[in-house]
Amino acid sequence: MKSNLDLINECDNFPYYDDNPEAYDKLVSSYYKFFVLGSRRAVGYVLPWVVEKMPWDKKWVIDHDKKRLFPYVEGLQAGKFAEQSQVIEETLSRARENGSFEVIKKWRNELYTIHGADQMIKMERSGSPLFGIVTYGVHMTTYVNTKDGMKIWVPKRAKGKTYGGLLDNTVAGGIAAGEDPSECIVREAAEEASFPEELVRSAIKPCGTISYFSFRDERAGGEVGLLQPEVQFVYDMEVGDDVVPKPCDDEVETFRLWTVTEVQEALSKRMFKPNCALYLLDFFIRHGVLTPQNEKNYVEIVSRLHRKLPFPTATAM
């Protein structure tokens, strides 16, 4: 049985500097720092073996001594931002054609934003773990207040998907380049749970963000050990007992209404997708289910749900 802190550690598993400064510095110094035009700080970490296997061309500067890499463009004109996106796309497309990496074999045809530059630079979603950039998403917990107490709508992920067969948050998804988080949650709610747009717009409540830094495991698909720093926008939606989510796309097999106790038991048995545990713990804290009186690691858990990442994060979406 896993404790709540164990669940945090399973997802937010990238080392912390303060825990072992020497080991942290040794690890991070082995990574290549990924820069883009207009970024004053690295926007991602690239593992050395990824650098070796990636089919770079002359449009990249790879400094092996300083362990830095960035798309090369002449001059610093604003118009070069789109050109950097093109260089990144061409490189990942070559890697896909060459079969260089498992993770991009499931090409998503969906672009993510690389934050930290003065203008928007984009990257194919499936390639983001290869560059270790911060990715962004939305998660919504839908719940019902019944005469028997609060209950939560819990989906089971389709077996053919990553983390297949595990439990998930009611609605979740990645934020595409240029997409507003509130529009993303409306879209995902319709696609995954068949929730009507008007219901979601009137009932959702934005509840902040959660951030963490993970090493990807075999359940995520693709190569093990790729880096995944993430920021997720969190939403709650209270509904009546007449509202029943239904699978719409191929992400979810079934939905079931769970009691809080059932959800807590399932969490302790690692039945949920690892990052989903964090959103549920956050939900329980905000709704007074998890308190300093019943959770000895309360302060650390609250802190760990909002990790400060070593890269620039979005100032606006």
pLDDT digits (tens, 9 = 90+) for 12-63: 999 999 999 999 999 999 999 999 987 889 999 999 999 999 999 999 999 9
Q: What is the largest CA-CA distance in the chain?
A: 66
Q: What is the mean pLDDT of residues 258-286?
A: 97
pLDDT of residue 74: 67
Length of the chain: 317
pLDDT of residue 160: 82
pLDDT grade for 181, boundaries at 50, 70 and 90: very high
Q: What is the mean pLDDT of residues 281-292?
A: 98
Rounded distance, CA 52 to CA 174, Å?
A: 28
Would the pLDDT of 118 be above 90? no
pLDDT of residue 162: 86
What sign does the dihedral 303-307-308-313 (CA atoms) show? negative
**Of 119, 111, 114, 44, residue with least CA distance to 80:** 119
Would the pLDDT of 81 be above 80? no
b/e code 41-63 from CB counts within 10 Å (16+ = b): ebbbbbbeebbeebeeeeeeeee
| Residue 259: both structure tokens together | 């009691």
pLDDT grade for 139, boundaries at 50, 70 and 90: very high
**Residue 95's beta-bridge partner residues?**
none
pLDDT of residue 82: 80
Rounded distance, CA 162 to CA 102, Å?
A: 13
Compute φ and ψ for 139, nearest 5 degrees. Answer: -140, 135
Mean pLDDT for the chain? Answer: 94
pLDDT grade for 249, boundaries at 50, 70 and 90: confident
Residue predicted with more confidence, 77 or 1: 1
Percentage of the chain with pLDDT > 70? 97
Percentage of the chain with pLDDT > 90? 87
Would the pLDDT of 188 be above 60? yes
Would the pLDDT of 130 be above 60? yes
How many CA atoms, within 13 angstroms, populate the side-chain half-sphere of residue 241?
8
pLDDT grade for 75, boundaries at 50, 70 and 90: low
